[in-house]
């Protein structure tokens, strides 16, 4: 169903051009007849249409302020959401939670920043320990520079999670389920993978609580091993275990295809074609010898 936006006049003495536009409705992707995307849109450089304007815009009947309109545009850019999808999701989310879009903005931003702050506080000690373990077990920390998620990526994840749970959870509640703000990847050569991962698991168990250990080398969707651990202070982080081939596939063609796939209707022909391509790439990744040993319980 198309999403529309409507120009609404609130002043008793509006400029003539805006009085004529009151009630004008266009597709959310389009500009209004005066060339603006929303009241107060300064991107056109036409001060005569912007200065001291008190008009507002509604999206399918829900009033959205100039500040909220600008923020949803910025949000879409930062999180790689389609602007239309981001606007509609944020409107739906705010209505379900009973808050304004601006209040929702603050809640999402604050949750994302708190998640990053907690990761930063724990990162140094965890990184130092894992670097030592890598040397002891013959592994290599891959993609180490990207061990911390960004505020921007978390904003997008919080909204995607909200869509998945039909906007039932607040941003703070969704944030409590995210355990990979601090994440690491250990790499082992294919023939040394199983032995190295098992040795590293034993070492990790002596330092952290194991929350998850999920080898999925027989999968046609994702090949690797994902694990989660908790520090003695209660902070939770993620570790992935890969071979050079699986790591290159995950961060190369599979990542690009997934970014295309996740914004599509999964039932569409385009989505199904991308899914088939991802499956073919995944199934071409060599499986490490004796990987089944990783399925056995610890100790």
Q: How confident is the model at residue 66 (pLDDT cuts 50, 70, 90)?
A: low
Report the alpha-carbon distance of residue 218 to residue 261 in Å, rounded: 22
Mean per-residue pLDDT, 262-283? 90
Q: Is 191 helix (H, G, I), strand (E, B) or coil?
A: helix
Give the residue among 79, 153, 90, 81 at the shortest CA–CA distance from 116: 153
- Tell which wins on pLDDT, 51 or 101: 51
Q: What is the pLDDT of residue 8?
A: 87
Mean pLDDT across the chain: 89
Q: What is the pLDDT of residue 241?
A: 98
Q: What is the pLDDT of residue 267?
A: 84
DSSP states of 42-53 as a string? GGG--GGGTTT-
Pairing mode, if any, of strands 56-59 and 62-64? Answer: antiparallel
Q: What is the pLDDT of residue 27?
A: 83
Q: What is the pLDDT of residue 90?
A: 81
Q: What is the pLDDT of residue 61?
A: 52
- Tell which wins on pLDDT, 3 or 100: 100
Q: How confident is the model at residue 110 (pLDDT cuts 50, 70, 90)?
A: very high
Phi-psi region of 124 (alpha: psi -120 to 50; beta: other; left: phi over 0): alpha
Report the alpha-carbon distance of residue 156 to residue 214 in Å, rounded: 25
Report the alpha-carbon distance of residue 278 to residue 220 in Å, rounded: 9
Q: Note the pLDDT tens digit of each residue in 195-239.
A: 999 999 999 999 999 999 999 999 999 999 999 999 999 999 999
Identify the structural domains of the chain with CATH numbers, from first to last: 1-64 (no CATH), 115-295 (3.30.460.10)
- pTM over cut 0.95: no
Whether residue 7 contacts residue 32, with contact meaning beta carbons closer than 8 Å, is answered with: yes
DSSP states of 11-75 as a string? -SS--HHHHHHTT-EEETTSPPTTS-SSTT-GGG--GGGTTT---EEEETTEEE-HHHHHHHHHH
- Tell which wins on pLDDT, 261 or 188: 188
Q: How confident is the model at residue 2 (pLDDT cuts 50, 70, 90)?
A: low
């Amino acid at each position: 169903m198309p999403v529309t936006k409507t120009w609404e006049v609130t002043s008793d003495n509006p400029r003539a051009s805006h009085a004529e536009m009151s009630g004008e409705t266009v597709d959310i992707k389009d500009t209004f007849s005066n060339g603006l995307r929303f009241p107060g849109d300064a991107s056109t450089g036409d001060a005569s249409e912007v200065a001291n304007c008190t008009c507002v815009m509604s999206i399918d009947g829900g009033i959205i302020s100039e500040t909220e309109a600008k923020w949803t545009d910025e949000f879409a850019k930062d999180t790689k959401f389609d602007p239309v999808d981001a606007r509609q999701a944020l409107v739906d989310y705010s209505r379900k939670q009973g808050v304004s879009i601006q209040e929702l903005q603050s809640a999402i931003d604050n949750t994302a920043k708190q998640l990053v702050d907690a990761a930063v506080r724990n990162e140094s000690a965890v990184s130092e320990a894992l670097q030592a373990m890598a040397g002891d077990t013959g592994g290599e920390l891959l993609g180490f520079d990207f061990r911390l998620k960004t505020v921007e990526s978390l904003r997008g994840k919080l909204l995607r999670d909200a869509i998945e749970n039909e906007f039932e959870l607040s941003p703070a509640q969704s944030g409590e389920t995210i355990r990979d703000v601090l994440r690491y990847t250990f790499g082992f050569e294919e023939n040394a993978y199983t032995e190295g991962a098992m040795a590293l698991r034993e070492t990790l168990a002596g330092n952290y609580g194991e929350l998850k250990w999920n080898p999925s080398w027989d999968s046609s969707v994702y090949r690797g091993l994902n694990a989660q651990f908790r520090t003695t202070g209660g902070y939770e982080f993620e570790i992935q275990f890969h071979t050079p081939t699986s790591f290159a596939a995950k961060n190369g063609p599979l990542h690009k295809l997934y970014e295309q796939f996740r914004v599509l209707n999964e039932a569409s022909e385009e989505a199904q074609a991308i899914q088939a391509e991802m499956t073919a790439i995944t199934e071409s990744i060599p499986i490490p010898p004796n990987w089944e040993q990783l399925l056995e319980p610890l100790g």
